[in-house]
Homo-oligomer: A and B are copies of this chain.
């Protein structure tokens, strides 16, 4: 499975952007799904610049609402997401990113951010960290 970098022309990106409907803040929710396992890894937000950078570089870039700036996933932690395919939903207001995740997606060191569940009638953790957060972000 090759990465999707650098294969999208500007006119095709324009066709995508014409179909995209950003919210009032200029953002759209983006789901990252592991292309090989189908596991849903995380949900984050993208603006137009983040989508453009992701399509051009093949590395997933989000927009951090808390830091109010582009967030190149894995820039600090090394846990990069390589774009395999970007999909858009019927209304154009949600994005699905099929990715190849290096290491773990969650800042807690877990593979997926969705590690808490209502299971067997109990709200519980269903996955343990694979990497210590201190390893990801320094002491």
**Are A43 and B94 closer than 8 Å at their CB atoms?**
yes
**Are B89 and A121 closer than 8 Å at their CB atoms?**
no
**Are A118 and B29 closer than 8 Å at their CB atoms?**
no
Q: How many copies does the complex hold?
A: 2
Give the CA-CA distance A90 to B116 in the complex, in Å: 8
**Are B113 and A94 closer than 8 Å at their CB atoms?**
yes
Give the CA-CA distance A114 to B87 in the complex, in Å: 6
Q: A38-B39, A106-B90, A118-B12 are in contact. Are A123 and B19 (CB under 8 A)?
A: yes
* Residues of A in contact with B (beta carbons under 8 Å apart): 4, 7-9, 12-13, 15-16, 19, 29, 31, 33, 37-40, 42-43, 55, 85-91, 94, 96, 106-108, 110, 113-123, 126
